[in-house]
Structure 1
Amino acid sequence: MSSSVVVVGSFNVDHVWRCESLPAPGATIAGRYSTGPGGKGFNQAVAARRAGAPTTFVCALGDDPGGAMARGLAAQDGFALAAEASTEPTGTGGIYVDSRGRNTIVIGPGANAALSVDFVQAQRALLAGAKVVLAQLESPVETIEAALALARQAGVTTVLNAAPADAPSSIGLLKLADVLTPNETEFAALLGRHVGERVDADDVAALDGASLHALCRKLVGNGTVVVTLGSVGVFVSHAEENLRGDAQPYYRVGAEQVQVLDTTGAGDAFNGALCASIAQDGEAAFIRHVRFANQFAGRSTEKEGAAVAMPHFTPDDAENK
């Protein structure tokens, strides 16, 4: 099966507790429990597919109920799986969500940490046949680097969601991304790790456009950086020589006005929808893709959950809104 979006990354079985406030160290509080699919890679694959793009998800799964869940849900949503069999258990995530929709997450990588370079290299034809390849950092960094390098060699647009913030990365990996999509916490971590700039994550959104653009250019010379800023919106920074159809090298797009219930997976919704939009109309100005991804991500916060909260909402739906 050929796919216009290939997502390389993680699948987790999420265990979620919803409570009035996030637990403090040493505290025991009551919450409402649920479980379901998650993992940044899987969330993004679901988002890309529900945003209208034929999608394949490259991952590693254990031979257990979690792996069976991933296979069943992928089939249900209509996207393909290229899954490496692992002797490790399928990944897991523990998530707490408070009454304001904020969350904290702990993951157990399991099989996700075993996704191998050899397996990804065996997907060369799949990666080369895509229009967009999207990856995150919940899988081994050398495996993600191999996937993006294969895509880049084939002239495929590469998107790296540099998440989570404490995941290992390298400047070489960042340079393999045509589009880099950190949130403010991840952006601050990348600046500190790779260019020696110390910026507090809480201050990123308040920076003026020129200063934020300059920091983005230090991080990746020729690529586009999209910094997601939660309720503040999105900041986009292009290289001067590649504006991707936009009229200016940097700008902000405000957040959608939505009734937020749960922000878990909102960043994944944005990334999957952004890639789906690019894959479906690569000639459109980049701001159009960002606006659609913003709409899609906003809608995802109006339902509880991560993968299950991704809306069925395509660029054509957005145009006809």
Structure 2
Amino acid sequence: MANRVAVLGSLNVDTTYQVVRFPEPGETISAQQRSSAPGGKGANQAVAAARSGAKTYFIGAVGNDDEGKLMRQCLEDERIYTAHLTTDMNHGTGTALITLNSEGQNDIMVYGGANQAMTDAVLNGTDQVFEDIDFMIAQFETPQAVTLEAFKRAKAHGVMTILNPAPASEILPELLQYVDVIIPNETESEVLTGIKLTDQASMDQIADTFQRQGVKTVMITLGERGVYCAKGDDRQIIEPFLVKAVDPTAAGDTFIGSMTSQLNPDLSNLAEAITYAQRASSLTVQKYGAMPSIPMGFEVEEALNK
């Protein structure tokens, strides 16, 4: 049976400018190309889960605008359940401006809009969702207070919770008590713990820090170095699939969503799910855009079997 996943998170319409190099302060440069696509960490993770076969619910908010209609339709086109995607009459739909250079590196500026204005009201009437799901995912592009309430409800229903603390900001201390799995990247790990990530010993220190606060499983996505995983005392780095990246946007989101689609609720197949997710991410970075670059499950399986 397919995994059942709920994502509490952000939806953004992304506009990407492709440039040879990033501008210096005060400098004006020409963009080689401009494109727009649906995105947002929450939406990307939900789409990644759905495309890899998970029954997926989305909990979030959009504005009463064309961008909001676009984002709602995009999720519905992916067969994601949107009954709990609310319309905020006072704030616009989230947007992101992405600058992508010729080396495949990006800078991102985000307008939170309805994402950041979200309150616990988005959770009204979600009891049936929590009764149905195996996993709940959240990020930091929506208010932590709402995530805390959602994770409390998830744990009350025996649901496994996954936190992607991105973009990094100080974590509500109580929130970590309700987190089963935390997945930061290298930069976020350093910001959240104050420990500079240099080698596996420093990764172990970061994992210890989170585990002392109640999080049993810690993953750190390391880009071309793979994924560090600490499940209790079991510590390992799982090697990546090396490819030529053209756009890293949504790589981390693809990893989280696709991994959750494959993961057993008791985490008994964690290494296998991570390998699947890394293969999915390796496909994402070879295409431009956020949501359009996320692979289908059959594409991931074909790539794994090569």
Q: TM-score, normalised by structure 1?
A: 0.88
Matched residue, 1:141: 144
8 Å CA contact retained: 1:47, 1:272: yes
Residue identity in the other structure for 2:209: K
Structure 1 stretches of 4+ moved >2 Å: 281-285, 313-321
Q: Which moved more, 1:27-36 or 1:167-176?
A: 167-176
Residue identity in the other structure for 2:189: F
Pairing 1:262–2:263 present: no
Matched residue, 2:263: 278
Listed one character per residue, the Cα deviations across residues 287-311 of structure 1 (whole Å, up to 9, x for unaligned) are: 1111111111111001000111101
Matched residue, 2:36: 35
* Alpha-carbon distance, 1:149 to partner: 1.2
8 Å CA contact retained: 2:3, 2:262: no
* Alpha-carbon distance, 1:3 to partner: 7.3
Label 1:284 to 1:319 Cα distance change in 2 as closer, same or farther (>3 A): farther
Pairing 1:308–2:299 present: no
- Cα RMSD after superposing both structures: 1.9
Mapped partners of 1:308, 1:75: distance in 2 = 15
Matched residue, 2:155: 152
Mapped partners of 1:256, 1:134: distance in 2 = 24
Listed one character per residue, the Cα deviations across residues 163-192 of structure 1 (whole Å, up to 9, x for unaligned) are: 002x34222212311110000111111103
Matched residue, 1:63: 64
Matched residue, 2:105: 102
Mapped partners of 1:283, 1:143: distance in 2 = 25
Mapped partners of 1:104, 1:11: distance in 2 = 18
Mapped partners of 2:118, 2:65: distance in 1 = 16
Percent identity reads 32
The secondary structure found in structure 2 opposite 1:220 is helix
* Alpha-carbon distance, 1:316 to partner: 5.3
* Alpha-carbon distance, 1:254 to partner: 1.6
8 Å CA contact retained: 2:60, 2:122: no
* Alpha-carbon distance, 1:213 to partner: 1.5
The secondary structure found in structure 1 opposite 2:92 is coil
Mapped partners of 1:320, 1:30: distance in 2 = 42
Label 1:316 to 1:15 Cα distance change in 2 as closer, same or farther (>3 A): closer
Mapped partners of 1:255, 1:161: distance in 2 = 19
Mapped partners of 2:268, 2:283: distance in 1 = 22
Mapped partners of 1:307, 1:15: distance in 2 = 12
Listed one character per residue, the Cα deviations across residues 239-264 of structure 1 (whole Å, up to 9, x for unaligned) are: 13xxxxxxxx1000122121211001
Matched residue, 1:123: 126
Q: Which runs of 5+ in 2 are unaligned?
A: none
Listed one character per residue, the Cα deviations across residues 16-73 of structure 1 (whole Å, up to 9, x for unaligned) are: 1011112221111111111111110001111111111111111101111111101111
8 Å CA contact retained: 2:61, 2:122: no
